[in-house]
Amino acid sequence: MAAAASNAGGKFRPLDAASPLSYVGVLAVGSTLYGGWEILQANQPSTAGNHGGSQLRVVVDTIGYGRAPIAKINGIVLPTSALYQTESLCNVNGRYATPCPVGSTVAGFRQYFNLDGQSTPGTFFYQNTSQNYPWNSLSTQVYIK
């Protein structure tokens, strides 16, 4: 799959070959018990706050293009329907931004996972594999208190 850039109509046009995965990380964990989103630092091993309640959500950022995402909670693979929203991430002046400005190149994706009904504490795990050379796999995990 080729990388894409948006034009004035908000449509995307293909560019060069897509970049392989270079980063995956948990950006945030949100829940009703916590009262919103807890933004995590890169490679933060666990949430600082306690999470749970009727809603439990996790946001994962990926830089590059993947083809085989796997998300798990406590070792159990989540159904594909758990991924309820995906946003494009674009490199804007050295920072990844969403929504992507017109004319920018999609560098990765922000993915939102619905873990409603899952009990905490527990470990959320995410892995993806590049859709092109070098077909590397990257993973991340966070312990949700």
Domains and CATH numbers, the chain: 2-144 (2.60.40.2870)
pLDDT in tens, 8-52: 555 555 556 679 999 999 999 999 999 999 999 988 999 999 999
Say what the pTM is.
Answer: 0.86
Where are any strands of DSSP class E within the chain? Answer: 2-6, 12-17, 23-31, 36-39, 56-63, 70-73, 76-77, 83-92, 95-97, 106-114, 122-129, 137-144
Residues 54/116, Cβ–Cβ less than 8 Å: yes
Q: What is the pLDDT of residue 46?
A: 98
Instruction: Provide the mean pLDDT of the chain.
Output: 91
Higher pLDDT, 98 or 11: 98
Which pLDDT does position 13 carry in this prediction? Answer: 54
